[in-house]
Structures are given as C-alpha cells and as structure tokens.
Structure 1
C-alpha cells in the first residue's frame, strides 16, 4: 500500500495545495518507478529557488510518498504552525544543522521505525553556482543514511526557476510552467559502511550523492555540468540556510 493512501494530515494539505499548484505548474515526472513506495528513505534534491520545498513536496506526493523535511527547530516552535509541522512528521534541526542533536536523531529513528521518507537538501542552501548547477554538499544526509542504514534517493528538478527566480520571493504565475522532475537509483554507499564517520568518509560519501544529483540534472537540462563543483568558501559566499 502506498504511504500516501493512508489517512494523514497530508490529505488536508493536498486538498488545498494541489489544486493551486495545478493552476501554475505542469509536472513531468521521469523514472518515477525508481521512487520506493515503502520503507524509509532520504530524498535528496537539488536546490536553487525559494519555492523548491513546495515544488519538491508536491512532486513527492505525486510520486507516492509523503513530503517530510528537515526543518529548523525554531520554526517548529511557532504556535499552530509548529504543531502542524510536528504532527506531519517534520524533523527538527537545531541551528548549526547537526544531525547529532538528540531531537533530530530520535526523529530520524522514528522515521526508520515507521518506514517514512524525509527530504534533505544536501547543499544546505540555494546553490551559489552562477548557472544553478549543484554546489558542494553538506554531510547531513549521508550521516543519517550511514548511521541508520537508510537508502538515499537522488532527485533533480528543472523549470522551477520560471515559477520563482533564484533569490526572489515573487511568484510568476502566468503562463503555466512545466517542471521536470527526475528520480535516480539509490546512491551506492556500501563502500563507506563500517568506516568511521570522520570528515574524509563523510566528504567522499557526500560527493557521491552530489554526483548522482548532478547527473540527473544534466539529463534534464541536456547539458554538461562544470568539471569542478562550486565551492562557496572559495568565493567568500555564505552557505547558511537549510540542513
């Protein structure tokens, strides 16, 4: 049985959100059969627009899974909104983004026990790459995957920038936009299993995830990404943002 078919608070979200998104966006889902319909999984999309969570959340629903995110703990403390987010299974992350916080790790363990999915942006914030290719990733997703033995499912999307440009908060509603979403095979992290989760291991594992996401985006764009991935630290750019 699809996770989406079970009664949940997401049905209420879908009742209001899906018709609105349908007016603005036509989704083209590529290789949707690669999205596992059961079991815990970490979904790792590319990130280049402020509306990405809405787009990816909607696409995840259409792919048969429920969209849960790593969310800043401060957001979950907001009255009413925080309660809704907690009830829908969002995972709180304290400022600094460490998955070692007890709250995040316990929530992640519950995710495994209940066979849920969680969406993690491995770049941590909107890409700073001038051409919107994925930039250097952070280790949160692979740390969770290796600590809890959860598969990572890479996802790429393209066309979202027509709905909302990078760094903008303005919606471009008309004309209706087409957004392509491509699902990849689970990232093979077997070579890292059993190794100490030090900086060397986590960096190498994260690079594999970013390579997989970039390859999917290359397919969608019909272009080749730069040989060297953008590193904000080398360009005096901030990486603050999502987990």
Structure 2
C-alpha cells in the first residue's frame, strides 16, 4: 500500500505525531529492505514501552507500507476513537469468538487483501527485569499458519529509556534525547509447519521460533547475549508472588553499546531502494514522514 492511499486519518495522525517524536527522539531505522514491497504480511514486534508502538509505526510508515495494529473490537464502536480506529484501518480482535482463529478473522481478511498486520506476541509490556522479550502467546502463530504470508521479526529499543514499562513518578525522562532503534530482520522460515494441523504443540513451537527471531534482533541492537530461558511472567507471579518491575540501569548501558555498533549500511541500502530515508550527519537517518497513532498493542 502506497502513501498516496493512506487517507485522511493517517495524514492527520502524521501531522499530530511527527512534531513530538522529532523533538524528543533521534531515530535509527535498520533493515527496512526486509519489509515486503507488496502483498500481505505479518510483523511480530517486542513491547517494552507504552511509546514503542509509535516508534514502530513511524519506522514502517517510512517504508511505504502502512501498519495495521490489533485492538479490542469495542474501541471501534463509537465516538472519535472509534472513527479514528476505523479511519486508520486498525484491526478488531473478536475475543468472543468460539473458535481460536475466529478471534483474528479481521486480521486474516486484511492480510489476504494485501495489508500488513502487526502482532505483539508477548501480549503486554515486558515484565522481564532485564528487558528481554517474554514468553509469547500463540495468536501470531495461528494467523501465520492460516495465511502462510511472510512473518517479519522486528525489535526495538530506546523508547523504554524515556518511558519505561510500568513507570513510577520520576521514571519518565525525555532528556537527554534518546535514540529510537527499530530493526527488522529477514522473514522467518516457517515452511516446515505449513500443512500441519495447528495443534497446541505446533502453535507453541511456531511461537517459540517467532520469539527467538525477535530476541535475536534485539540482541544485535543491544550488543548483548540474551538469557538462555525466556521469562514467563505468569509462572513468576505464581512462584514468587508480586513481580519486581524491570530496572533500567542495565538497559541504558546496553543501548550505548548498541549505538556503537556500525549500522549505517542499512540506512544506505534503504535509501538506494527508495524506501528509506536520506542519511544525516553521524550515520543516522533523517525521517521525513511521521507515524500514525498506534492502536492497542496488547495482542492475544
């Protein structure tokens, strides 16, 4: 879908969202060449800040493909919010559906029409104290097996340093300006699962593959080795009682390490294929466009 077809609501969102994003953040977009130029596809994204749907949406908007987020169906029913959700083409999730894939029928329809649908497979903001992706839910796996379209892993870092998950008073700090790093990887190879029945075991295996690929992209950004075992916040809550919220000290050191990694080639390649932005001083990219407002990022 080209920018010429994004419509009034997306353009309005760009006008509203771009100025504060440009004011408060620098940007480092990586791997834009992995976003398909045409046809339906899925992106699976980590979630570590209430702001990161905006940074991700900004990134993908600049590739020329408009992202469609999943949201509760009730948000579409009335008022300004409902009009905005419908106008920007966000995707309702029908949680009352009796069959599992039926909950995502609008997502499947959108993908079959050539759209991109965004999944946050963790289902909520990460509760991992080290800020790595948690154990994922199976919604993205179900839709991926149903549609067999490309599944693009995306990791992001930086918004959490300004607005951490579950912030307390004084935790939100916009200065000094942070760099929003968003990195897309190549499509995940799920061909071995095509044609198999979507049993619980198969869905869990596909979900683990998806989470592994997202984690690998984040490890590249942070310049760190991820933990061997993925955090399960439900299990942690059951075994230890109230969970400790993530700390940011280690994450801040990690992003500095990630920023030292030479990554200018991704932005150069994006510019060459006409889908990225022109480089600016210091190897960062100047982003002429802004992101639409993100829908609720907590997917099943």
Q: Which runs of 4+ in 1 moved over 3 A?
A: 94-104
- 3-state DSSP of counterpart to 2:92: strand
Task: Give the whole-Å Cα distance in 2 for the aligned partners of 1:100 and 1:87.
Answer: 27
> Aligned pair in 2 of structure 1 residues 187, 96: CA closer, same or farther (>3 Å)?
farther
> Aligned pair in 2 of structure 1 residues 171, 75: CA closer, same or farther (>3 Å)?
farther
> Aligned pair in 2 of structure 1 residues 98, 116: CA closer, same or farther (>3 Å)?
farther
- 2:200 maps to 199
> Aligned pair in 2 of structure 1 residues 184, 135: CA closer, same or farther (>3 Å)?
same
Q: CA deviation at 1:18?
A: 1.4
Q: Does the aligned pair in 2 maintain the 1:4–1:64 contact within 8 Å? A: yes
- 1:175 maps to 176
Task: Give the whole-Å Cα distance in 2 for the aligned partners of 1:117 and 1:171.
Answer: 31
Give the alignment of 1:12-91 within 5 angstroms. Answer: 12-91=12-91
Task: Give the whole-Å Cα distance in 2 for the aligned partners of 1:162 and 1:10.
Answer: 27
Residues 1:110 and 2:166 are matched in the alignment: no
> Aligned pair in 2 of structure 1 residues 145, 31: CA closer, same or farther (>3 Å)?
same
Greater displacement, 164-173 / 33-42: 164-173
TM-score (normalizing by structure 2): 0.74
Query: How many residue pairs end up in the alignment?
Result: 239
Gaps of 5+ in 2: 243-296
Task: Give the whole-Å Cα distance in 1 for the aligned partners of 2:148 and 2:123.
Answer: 21
> Aligned pair in 2 of structure 1 residues 113, 162: CA closer, same or farther (>3 Å)?
same
Task: Give the whole-Å Cα distance in 1 for the aligned partners of 2:99 and 2:180.
Answer: 31
- Structure of greater relative contact order (alpha carbons < 8 Å, 6+ residues apart): 2
- 1:229 maps to 230
Considering only CA atoms, is the larger Rg found in Structure 1 or Structure 2? 2
Q: CA deviation at 1:175?
A: 2.5
Q: CA deviation at 1:25?
A: 1.3
Give the alignment of 1:140-151 within 5 angstroms. Answer: 140-151=139-150
- 2:219 maps to 218
Q: CA deviation at 1:96?
A: 7.4
- 2:138 maps to 139
Q: CA deviation at 1:95?
A: 4.3
- 3-state DSSP of counterpart to 1:236: helix
> Aligned pair in 2 of structure 1 residues 109, 165: CA closer, same or farther (>3 Å)?
closer
Q: Does the aligned pair in 2 maintain the 1:32–1:63 contact within 8 Å? A: yes
> Aligned pair in 2 of structure 1 residues 177, 125: CA closer, same or farther (>3 Å)?
same
Gaps of 5+ in 1: none
Task: Give the whole-Å Cα distance in 2 for the aligned partners of 1:122 and 1:98.
Answer: 21
Q: CA deviation at 1:101?
A: 6.2
> Aligned pair in 2 of structure 1 residues 194, 113: CA closer, same or farther (>3 Å)?
closer
Task: Give the whole-Å Cα distance in 1 for the aligned partners of 2:93 and 2:213.
Answer: 25
Q: CA deviation at 1:7?
A: 4.1
Q: CA deviation at 1:117?
A: 0.6
Q: Does the aligned pair in 1 maintain the 2:153–2:213 contact within 8 Å? A: yes
- 3-state DSSP of counterpart to 2:55: helix
- 1:120 maps to 119
Task: Give the whole-Å Cα distance in 1 for the aligned partners of 2:99 and 2:22.
Answer: 34
